[in-house]
Chain A
């Protein structure tokens, strides 16, 4: 089984230097870009079927196709790596950056070349201090070696790269909020259209891409789109970093063919749920995705095989709900997170999410009635896509709506027993709203 993204990452947690990266083929394709015009790089990536690994699953080739090209296009154009990995349960980008920082730099150079963007920013969440140190060193190495800041052989294309360490807030992961943050402003999302590909950073054409997505690009350029498609088990190309956390025997991450099932990750790689607990469900990729239960475990985890009525892949880093954990308390934790991280710009999100959190709290404290179940259901409709300025609140409703469906009896038990049947632990959650 091929693991192009992670095969060279040191198991002891140390980073890979420029010398090591070059020894395993790193930066080699930059030498032959003279025979590979930007349009050809775009075509390779489009044919490879690379989809955005940050959760959206948008086709990278399609995203690039909206960028104005040629001499008349606005200058400069920007390519931005979204390393604001704050989706709870998600830690894949950190693994890549800490283990192999040069892979991100090469991916950004190639993506920049493909859309003729000469300036890149790596937007890194502020808490990733080790990643920041390793990227700073790697960027300096790449400048010294002439991969950055110097025209690439035979192309006249010169790429400059900057690292931006952020100062917190989950909403920075939303691409237009991220752009505002990079400009030194509050990270409030912007209205779309215009889309960043035409009007982005400082009003210039900008492409924002997830870190893991960018790591794939050098491998596509080196080995071709057919090879890349064969890595996958399904119609979406490539491998995926799957992760799992919660009460499982061996929590961790594995690079596997796209389309691996949740059952394989859970049972074969993570060793199943921990001793003494039973599986009840999982969130397949961060907390903005809907619960999957036993009946969904054999679905291929990719961007096309999960039916919309079941949910979506998200970041592919799963969080397991076991029978020793209260599903209502679990969802309360998620909604508290979304409440705290709402940017406050639009009313449904700013006011609706705290309301949801307070209602869930009333279940844990034994004050809930069946009316509260109706109120929760009402919120899942009124905070759904189309009612809010960005995707934060709709994302917050995905786990709630599915929990109301799959764990309805557990919500009812909170009403009939007048409190949380699990423990007083859940009832201690404070709602900071």
Chain B
């Protein structure tokens, strides 16, 4: 069941749209921020609040790559693999993350700490390669810097 705080957050989000459905993406993101991911149960709860069917909401949830329909680690590292970062060696950065934390693209490290995902251009091309961890962007990342950056996220 949605907690009181969650419900209040959703009520606030709905105020920005002429109908409840307009807040569907905001609602998924808000609840995901609290619960880490969108389980089937969570999906049903949000759909009920928005007064749409769970199937309808799932079609939205599965379309957007920043909404997780599977559990993720405590932190999520998005490695930009678009062109400017590819030219500057994003593949070596991703290899280093895999070596250090045992998580390939789409996987979570065995200790549940870090999920690693590819991401479309992060818009930090002048500092390629770029990595986004949770809400923090890192530019000019080299394989040597990976450990120092990721160690901030326990």
Contacts and interface: CB of A to CB of B under 8 A. Distances in A.
Interface in A87-116: 87-91, 93-94
Interface residues of A, number: 55
B44 interface: no
A219 to B, nearest CB: 24
A184 B21 contact: yes
Contacts of A165: 26, 29
B89 to A, nearest CB: 9
A282 B23 CA distance: 40
Interface stretch (B108-116, B117-125, B146-154): B117-125
B72 interface: no
B82 A337 contact: yes
B66 A89 contact: no
B63 A184 contact: no
B123 A128 contact: yes
A175 interface: no
Contacts of A245: 84, 87, 125-126, 128
B87 A88 contact: no
Nearest to A325: B87
Contacts of A186: 59-60, 63
Given A126-B29, A333-B83, A428 B65 contact: no
Interface in B124-142: 124-128, 132, 135-137
Contact of B22 (A182, A319, A330, A425): A182
Given A127-B123, A428-B91, A168 B64 contact: yes
A88 B126 contact: no
B84 A88 contact: yes
Contacts of B119: 127, 168
A302 interface: no
A181 B25 contact: yes
B37 interface: no
A411 interface: no
Interface in A300-341: 317, 319, 322, 325, 330, 333-334, 337, 340-341
Contact of B60 (A182, A184, A287): A184
A184 B24 contact: yes
A127 B118 CA distance: 13
Contacts of B16: 162, 164
Nearest to A119: B18
A170 interface: yes
Contacts of B135: 129
Of the listed residues B59, B120, B125, the one surrounded by the most CB atoms of chain A closer than 10 A to its CB is: B125
